[in-house]
Amino acid sequence: MQLADALRLAISHQNAGRIDAASDIYKQILEVQPENPIANTLMARIRMRATDIIGAEGLLAIAIKAAPDYIQAHATLGECLTRRDQPALATHAYRRVAILQPDHKAALLELGNLLQNADRLEEAATLYRRLLRIDPNWAVAANNLAQGELKLGHPEPAFELTEGILSRDIANVRANALRLAALQQWGRLEEVDERVRLGECARAIEFDLPDAWTDFGAFNANLSRDLHEHPNLVADWDPMRRALRGGSAIPQFDEHHTPVIDAFMAMLNTRIEQYITELPERAAHPFLGRKPSGSYRLEIWGNILSGDHFQSAHIHNLGWMSGVYYVTVPESIHGEDEERAGWLEFNRPGYGIPYSGPEGLPAICPTAGQAMFFPSYVWHRTLPFTGDGERISIAFDLIPTE
């Protein structure tokens, strides 16, 4: 087989998810031609997939030495360095891509993100505007530029950017959230309240006890046990990609079946259907106007927080509606606490966007056996608490599939 044919076959395997088959071919190519830049770069991507970042960087060094202008090698190196939390080196790699290909959208976006994360906001904004000249309708670049404008305290241009996105896609969760932050900075608080609708769209949810159980205390105690024994329990959530700060998480909570977990899922699904039915019809509202009329799926996970652990302010980019059910709540978290330790707070923006609104943001004291449902675009965070005990919850996103 010719080298070019072997590369094409390996790439087809890799694109189809047949990673072992692709890896075997790349290894054979590298035995014959150790400096092949394409094989080294694509093999590096396989190493990245296996979280072998250092091994990937070694392959990319070979590729770049053999072909200093090979764009894909520099772009992949930027990804590696970003994952390894080396922003200065990653910035250098992406700048090289931008020199070699000035309209490389992915590299310009990542370079802008690195600069924005380093608070080099004007430089990042220049890159996002450049991207919007290349692709005026790219929502990702427009959202990133809007976020930068909000960090600079410029709500008017941020609002205009989000309005442009939402005129094309009213369901864009991030644009809706950034619009809330812009309205807040602008002082247009009644419009924030109208979009959040605390007490109607965002509200506490009571449940009927599942059959065969006599009280929520026993049910939640068994649910807590199943969470602690869940095979997906992890304690190394990536803080760059998740809002969790400390504690443990259980991704894909519903993949594991026990009688208690199955009873909880049935209870949750019933209450979600009731909640959707109870919502009023308002066609122009970004949440009420998008009530699911067909099927949907749930992304669901558990959180286990101890004292001083918390969740930073965030949104849920994939959902229409999100929620959190409280399994256990420590005694140190209670409704008479003026500091509101351990409470769920709404409307304070995250991701480095400054808050300049009134004090006393709405917050709910969690209660075991109760849930909060809210639009996925609503900013929310958990406040840290001290003391013994665990704050255990099950969170979800409802994602329409039609």
Q: What's the pLDDT tens digit per position in 1-21?
A: 788 899 999 999 999 999 999
* 60 contacts 44 by C-beta, under 8 angstroms: yes
86, 277, 355 from 123: Cα distances, Å: 19, 47, 23
Q: Is 3-195 a domain of CATH 3.20.20.70?
A: no
Q: Which helix (H) or strand (E) holds 8?
A: helix 3-15
Collapsed DSSP state (helix, strand, coil) of residue 154: coil
pLDDT for position 212: 85
pLDDT in tens, 302-361: 998 876 666 789 999 999 999 999 999 998 889 889 888 889 999 999 999 999 888 878
pLDDT number for residue 31: 95
Each residue's pLDDT tens digit, 135-161: 999 999 999 999 999 999 999 999 999
Tokens encoding 39: 């094989």
User: What's the rounded Cα separation, in Å, for the pair 118 and 147?
Assistant: 14
Domain 203-400, classified CATH 3.30.420.40, yes or no:
no
List, as one string, the DSSP characters of 196-259. Answer: H-BTTTBEEE--PPPTT-S-HHHHHHHHHHHHHT-TT-BS---TTT-SEESSEEETTGGGS--H
Q: Which amino acid is at 332?
A: S
The span from the CA of 310 to the CA of 184, in Å, is 24
Of the pLDDT bands very low, low, confident and very high (cuts 50, 70, 90), residue 241 is very low
The DSSP element (H or E) to which 325 belongs, if any, is strand 321-328
- For residues 373 and 278, give the distance between their C-alpha atoms in angstroms, rounded to a whole number: 12
State the average pLDDT for the chain: 92
Q: Is the pLDDT of residue 22 over 60?
A: yes
How far is Cα of residue 235 from the mean position of the Cα atoms in its chain? 17
Residue 329 exposed, middle or buried by CB count within 10 Å (0-12, 13-18, 19+): buried
What six digits make up the tokens of 221? 């105690």
The helix-helix angle for 216-228 and 259-278 (nearest 10°) equals: 120
Under the banding of pLDDT at 50, 70 and 90, the label for residue 169 is very high
- Residue 35, token pair as written in the block: 């400096």
Q: Which pair of structure tokens corresponds to residue 176? A: 């809706």
User: Which DSSP letter does residue 388 get?
Assistant: S
Residue 73 to residues 70, 79, 94, 107: CA-CA distances in angstroms?
Answer: 6, 10, 10, 12
Return the closest-CA partner of residue 327 out of 234, 260, 381, 377. Answer: 260
| C-alpha span between 220 and 226 (Å, rounded) | 10
Which pLDDT score is estimated for 3?
Answer: 87
pTM to 2 decimal places: 0.89
Contacts of 387 (CB under 8 A, 6+ apart): 307, 330, 331, 332
Q: Is the pLDDT of residue 180 over 80?
A: yes
Q: Which residue has the tokens 């970042």?
A: 53
- Please count the other Cβ atoms lying within 10 Å of the Cβ belonging to residue 386: 13
154 versus 247: the higher-pLDDT residue is 154
pLDDT value at residue 360 = 79
Q: What is the pLDDT of residue 244?
A: 47
pLDDT-derived band of residue 240, with 50, 70 and 90 as boundaries? very low
11 contact partners, CB below 8 Å, separation of at least 6? 22, 42
The CA radius of gyration of the chain, in Å to the nearest whole number, is 24
Angstrom distance (rounded) from CA 63 to CA 39: 8
What is the average per-residue pLDDT within 219-246?
76
Between CA 326 and CA 309 the distance in angstroms is 16
* Per-domain boundaries in the chain: 3-195, 203-400
Asked if 176 and 166 touch (Cβ cutoff 8 Å), the reply is yes
Measured distance CA(224)–CA(243) in Å, rounded: 21
Tens-digit pLDDT profile for residues 63-116: 999 999 999 999 999 999 999 999 999 999 999 999 999 999 999 999 999 999
Does the pLDDT at position 118 exceed 80?
A: yes
Instruction: Give the confidence band of 239 by pLDDT, cuts at 50, 70, 90.
Output: very low
Distance CA 309, CA 242 (A): 13
Q: Which band of pLDDT confidence, cut at 50, 70 and 90, is reported for residue 62?
A: very high
